[in-house]
Amino acid sequence: MFGVTLAQLLHKKLRSLLTVLGFGFCVNLYIVVTTVMRFITEDLDLQVERFRGLLLVQSRGPEGATGMEWPPISSAIAEADARRVIATPRVHAAESTPVVFAGLAPPPFPTAPPEALIVGLDCGREAAFLGGASALLGANRLLPGDRQDQALLGVLAARHFAPHASATAEVPSPVGPIALAAVGSRISIRGHDFQVLGILEPETNQLLRSCVVMPLPAAQRVMRQAGTVSAILLTPESTRDIVPVKRAVEDAHPELMVVTEQQLAENAGKLLDRVTQLFNVVRWTSVSVAALLITIVMFVAVLERTRELGTLRAIGAPARSIFAMVMGESLLISGAGAAMGVPISRIVIRRALGPDAAGIRSRRIEALAIALLTGFGVVASVLPALRAVRVDPIVALHYE
């Protein structure tokens, strides 16, 4: 019966093609959304992991009150207060720094930090933010001293500034060569001139890929917020000091809140829950649309072929053969749609996430999408197939 199924599909070329395209779009949507969800989850985990053992101090502003904003761009603390906080006993002052966070470009996807994020901090204390991140090109630390026109760029930020940089460098990436602002080149940030000292290794997290690390005064000058910082990164002397330091800071500065690694993880979890709910709606909508599409198309196909189905029944076709014929057609459409949706999703993911697409593509997600949507497509064909089985053989003769 495969020959009949194939002949039917080829006969209705346009309809078959549109159905396959529609199904492929749903498969693509499912894969893209699931992949981005996984990427966001893993990235937030990495970000939380990066700040293990650190305390983040921010103001109790409208966003800061919940601690949900990440990074706390809208938080504002007087720099003098920040210096006093760093002087709190049991704080490792040499690995703590006030920070200015400021967005220069919109985030590439929900929950992501801005694609280019100013991170102004004390020179020599970059490790509080960068940890052990190494350099892809050039340096991974700012030059000591008073030089203000220096910046370290995450790979996304380097790509963001490339079009206007005085020089660019091409580096290989999973999406092909990408142009970055070259090490040593000059870039302009809101009218201020900076020299790129280094590009940070991209295998980190979204926050570090987006950052534009610069001296604190330079960030304050660019953002015109002299004397104010966004947050404070505190490194307690030991893990036993986390709770006492938090208590001491919050007691001395009631207007500030101290976010621990655990709270950061909880906040990340809440953020993820919101996004996951939205993404799940999209994912299950794509599954439902695929199933509905198959149901409608197969119902129409069965109705169109009443005479042929009746003829087959009249010459003795068993119900299982008719059932298998309709299910086989549905399986072919679903399979072709999946075969089309998977490569499209790879292209979409590359285009959406750019260099971040490195290692994101998951065969497991693709296999799951194919299995799930094809499965739903096949199940959705059961009703049309049962309808086909119920065609009375006498119908074939009534058409005469």
Q: Is residue 1 a contact point for other proteins (CB under 8 A)?
A: yes
In whole angstroms, how close is the CB of 4 to other proteins at the nearest point? 7
- Cβ-Cβ contacts under 8 Å for 62 (sequence gap 6 or more): 74
- Cβ-Cβ contacts under 8 Å for 125 (sequence gap 6 or more): 94, 95, 96, 97
Alpha-carbon gap, residue 23 to 17, rounded angstroms: 10
Q: Is residue 391 a contact point for other proteins (CB under 8 A)?
A: no
Alpha-carbon gap, residue 139 to 119, rounded angstroms: 16
Cβ atoms of 236 and 93 within 8 Å: the answer is no
Q: Is residue 68 a contact point for other proteins (CB under 8 A)?
A: no
Position among 15, 307, 361, 387 found at the interface with other proteins (CB under 8 A): 307
C-beta atoms surrounding 343 within 10 Å: 12
Q: Is residue 302 a contact point for other proteins (CB under 8 A)?
A: no
Q: Is residue 314 a contact point for other proteins (CB under 8 A)?
A: yes
Position among 74, 263, 306, 321 found at the interface with other proteins (CB under 8 A): 321
Stretch that binds other proteins, among 5-13, 52-60, 88-96, 351-359 (CB under 8 A): 5-13
Stretch that binds other proteins, among 34-42, 202-210, 270-278, 388-396 (CB under 8 A): 388-396
Q: Is residue 176 a contact point for other proteins (CB under 8 A)?
A: no
Q: Is residue 303 a contact point for other proteins (CB under 8 A)?
A: no
In whole angstroms, how close is the CB of 399 to other proteins at the nearest point? 7
In whole angstroms, how close is the CB of 5 to other proteins at the nearest point? 10
H or E segment at 336?
helix 319-353
Q: Is residue 313 a contact point for other proteins (CB under 8 A)?
A: yes
Among 88, 288, 123, residue whose Cα is nearest residue 218: 123
| Lookup: tokens for 189 | 């940030």
Q: Is residue 396 a contact point for other proteins (CB under 8 A)?
A: yes
185-191: list long-range contacts, CB under 8 Å, 24+ apart: 187/151, 187/161, 188/164, 189/104, 189/118, 189/151, 189/161, 189/222, 190/104, 190/222, 190/223
Helix (H, G, I), strand (E, B) or coil at 151: strand
- Total site size for other proteins, rule CB under 8 A: 25
Alpha-carbon gap, residue 125 to 199, rounded angstroms: 18
In whole angstroms, how close is the CB of 304 to other proteins at the nearest point? 12
Rg (CA), the chain: 29
Q: Is residue 300 a contact point for other proteins (CB under 8 A)?
A: no
Alpha-carbon gap, residue 6 to 389, rounded angstroms: 19
Estimate the share of the chain in helix, then strand, then coil, as percent rounded to the nearest 5: 55, 15, 30
Rank residues 284 and 399 by Cβ distance to other proteins and give the closer one: 399
Q: Is residue 399 a contact point for other proteins (CB under 8 A)?
A: yes
In whole angstroms, how close is the CB of 358 to other proteins at the nearest point? 48
Q: Is residue 319 a contact point for other proteins (CB under 8 A)?
A: yes
Position among 277, 316, 363, 364 found at the interface with other proteins (CB under 8 A): 316
Q: What are phi and psi of 102, to 5 degrees?
A: -150, 135
Q: Is residue 226 a contact point for other proteins (CB under 8 A)?
A: no
Q: Is residue 3 a contact point for other proteins (CB under 8 A)?
A: yes
Q: Is residue 17 a contact point for other proteins (CB under 8 A)?
A: no
Give residues in contact with other proteins (CB under 8 A). 1, 3-4, 7-8, 10-11, 307-308, 311-319, 321, 393-394, 396-397, 399-400
